[in-house]
Chains A and B, each alone.
Chain A
Amino acid sequence: MSEILIRLQAVTKTYTRGGEALRVLDDLDLEMESGTFFALMGPSGSGKTTLLNMLGGLDRPDSGAIVIAGEDITGFDNAELAQWRAANVGFVFQGFNLIPVLTARENVELPLLLAPLSRKQRREKAEYALELVGLSDRMKHRPAQLSGGQEQRVAIARAIVTDPTLILADEPTGDLDRSSAAAVLKLLGTLNSELGKTILMVTHDPHAAECAQTIVHLDKGQLGSIERRVPGAV
């Protein structure tokens, strides 16, 4: 049995929209093991993205605790959260979110600017990450010169280049065609199976969720069900 990497205890989050309080996460308890590929599913408004943002230190719960790798991140201030994110989390967004004025290599190098590395070391690490995602020949291309699938692979390279504890992917295939989506899912699967990365992927797509070892279903901010399975080929 793998050790617990993520532990959520009575996590609650309420937003106010149009003067009305909307409880997005409702007293949620959840544990996630290290080295596992999780898919987080649920209907719109079920709290998937909110949960992902909480786990990535982008948002804070109103109450409850979020403990990741033994650290309760709910007590961190903004600066501490930023430092913690830089060291522990890699993000993959639906819309890729690459910096348009930078090349693929420069985009991947960005998180390394926060690490005590020389320019040469940064470059080598970024090139290695791009090699891992199969984009050695696209290092000097800007995002606008890449396909959607290639952009998302650059984003994955950026997410793994710092060797984070946790990779958080929010609908990573949402903007991709079928074959690009399959390539991205395969890549995420490889990162999990071969490099032992813990991945939490929010998705609406049951087909994409089949890549995960554990599928967590959320409904109205509460835990629906947890489905443990053998990941299938995409």
Chain B
Amino acid sequence: MYKDLDPILHSQLRLAVISILVTVEKADFAYLKNETGATSGNLSVQITKLKETGYIEVNKKFKGNYPQTTCRITELGRQRFVEYVKAISGYLKPG
């Protein structure tokens, strides 16, 4: 079922993360966690997966005593997101 849909994006949380990142310059872990309502563990796993596939860039640094993980979508991620949206709109068209 829906085999031509990108399996990396065809997942609830990863799709939510990419959809947020496509609209902003960059967002940190706390923002993504709050917007998606995901648990830290789950979000961390999905962010790692998106990073490994090259869809997003992850920058980890310390700001004072606070660790800050910032995510930004890559050109590849943006391209795959557009393809994914095209693919699902194909399914949504009547007939």
Same complex for A and B? Answer: no
